[in-house]
Amino acid sequence: MSESTKSATLEIVRETPLLQLSMQQAINRALGEILDTDDRALIFGEDVGLLGGVFRVTDGLQQRFGANRVFDTPLAESGILGTAIGLAMAGFHPIPEVQFDGFAYPAVNQIITQLARMNYRSRGTLPMQVTLRVPSFGGIRAPEHHGESLESLFAHVPGLKVVSPANPQQAYHLLKHAASMPDPVIFMEPKARYWNKAGVDLAADEDIASLEGSVIARPGKHATLIAWGAMVSRCLQVAELAAEDGIELEVLDLRWLKPIDEAGLAASISRTRRAVVVHEGPHTIGLGAEVAALVSQSCFDTLRAPVERVTGFDVPYPSGDLEDEYIPNIDRILFGVQRVLEYRRG
Amino acid sequence: MAEVSFPLPDLGEGLLEATVLEWLVKVGDQVERNQPFVEVETTKSSVELPSPISGTVLTLHGEPGDVVLVDTPLITFTVADDSAGIVGTVPAEVAPKRRVRLSAVLDED
């Protein structure tokens, strides 16, 4: 191929228009591509086959790839994860779904005692290439057990990786990246963002390095809001409102909740010198505590205020009619920002 | 809009087919989730089937008296692309509202 042809081809790739996809469609597309390129990949879970998933995320995949590769399971999450572990030991690449975050509890034993440590236990001879999709967090008015925030639980377990996309573009690329990893990855899909459409560049982020760590969703200079999943879009709204008051907030989308991007946190907060971490999960021993500790360690000399945490409350995740009182709202986040802005030493 | 077909489920244990007795909806009808849409008869009993989703009826696969096989399409709906899952509702896009104003003297030394 001549040099001119090469560059012409590259131009065409770059000029591919962005596809407008919802997160649910972006994940569906990524799953289809994974099944297409990875013969060992299998998708299974409750209603993922015939029905196409309760959120239509696996819609059409069983028709495309057959019921041997995309199949329904009994309503038994420990069985879904047990199956995944056995298949991974046999060399398959399971991509199971736990239908709702709150249904993951019956599978926690399998996840912690087998999935997370099989590679360690076998001295690397039995890696667990399992990509576990979990529709996560609240915001859709669901009943009990259908909205939970389990990231602290999973992130605490050695051997697991945990990631949560904030938009369709990330969902598409992070899922493909997670599926390419040799380790078990918990992929937490923010249910509240399933239906929001945004441009997806299918060719972007081919560089693996750009899929690791955190990203700056909005640059600013007076304080950094740290969030993941559905809270990223809420923090972007808060940053927009804060700008009306002359306060420029940076929004750092953590993306990977295990491992946490310590360098990315330090880089942002050493510039803004104030940090507010926002999450839906309960306050005590929430992931915000870990983020606060990391920031305090890396930015102790530059911080102008203690790291603020704006979180869910220390109560069971409430059902739909009360979730607006529980999930951090715009005013609670703004209060957190005000506290770091007005803090004075001594 | 997307098309979603609902195949005849196995209504007993190991049943292979059912006979359509009466359609309770017609093409073009808006059907709510859990709304009965057909009465079918198996060798064991006659039952009304509830719709698994909300949608508009696109196709009824069979006339009264026709035999439909398990796992073959019984009814096809058109559903909105942004319809919610089985549980919960699609969050409404609302303009962000605030009561808190920020006030800060920033000492950017």
pLDDT of res. B56: 92
Residue B24 lies inside a defined structural domain of this protein: yes
Give the residue ranges of DSSP H helices in A60-185.
61-65, 77-89, 108-110, 118-121, 151-155, 168-180
Complex prediction ipTM: 0.73
- Transcribe A214-260 into DSSP letters: -EEEE--SSEEEEE-TTHHHHHHHHHHHHHHTT--EEEEE--EEES-
Range of the domain at A254: 215-342
Do A205 and A243 lie in a common domain?
A: no
A contact test, residue of B100, B101, B105, B107 with most A CBs within 10 A: B100
Tell me if residue A69 falls in helix, strand or coil: coil
Instruction: Give the CATH number for residue A129.
Output: 3.40.50.970
B contact test, residue of A19, A21, A47, A54 with most B CBs within 10 A: A54
Residue B86 lies inside a defined structural domain of this protein: no
Instruction: Give the CATH number for residue A254.
Output: 3.40.50.920
Contacts of A316 (CB under 8 A, 6+ apart): A144
Mutual orientation of helices A23-37 and A168-180 as an angle, nearest 10°? 30
Please give the average pLDDT of every successive group of 10 residues along chain A, which has 346 residues: 46 66 96 97 96 91 96 97 98 97 95 97 96 96 90 97 97 96 97 93 75 96 98 98 97 98 98 98 97 97 97 93 94 98 88
Which residues of chain B fall below pLDDT 70?
81-86, 107-109
Q: How many domains does chain A have?
A: 2
Peptide bond into A96 cis (omega under 30): no
pLDDT of res. A258: 98
Q: Which helix (H) or strand (E) element contains residue A185?
A: strand A185-190
pLDDT of res. A205: 57
Say which DSSP state A115 is in: I
C-alpha atoms less than 13 angstroms from C-alpha of A201 in its C-beta half-sphere: 8
Question: Is residue B1 within 8 angstroms of chain A, CB to CB?
Answer: no
* Boundary (domain end) residue, out of A181, A211, A241: A211
Do A152 and A56 lie in a common domain?
A: yes
A to B CB pairs, distance under 8 Å = 75
A-chain residue closest to B5, CA distance: A51
Task: Please state, as a whole number, how many other Cβ atoms lie within 10 Å of the Cβ of residue A89.
Answer: 15
Range of the domain at B34: 2-79
Do A178 and A106 lie in a common domain?
A: yes
Instruction: Give the CATH number for residue B40.
Output: 2.40.50.100
CA B28 to CA B59: how far, in whole Å?
Answer: 9
Which residue in A146, A173, A177, A279 is the catalytic one?
A146
Inter-chain CB proximity B100 and A54 less than 8 Å: no
How distant, in Å, are the alpha carbons of A50, A140, A180 from that of A147?
A: 24, 8, 28
Mutual orientation of helices A287-299 and A262-272 as an angle, nearest 10°? 60
Residue B109 lies inside a defined structural domain of this protein: no
* Whether A156 is catalytic: no
Do A225 and A191 lie in a common domain?
A: no
- Pairing type for strands B55-60 and B36-41 reads unpaired
Do A126 and A183 lie in a common domain?
A: yes
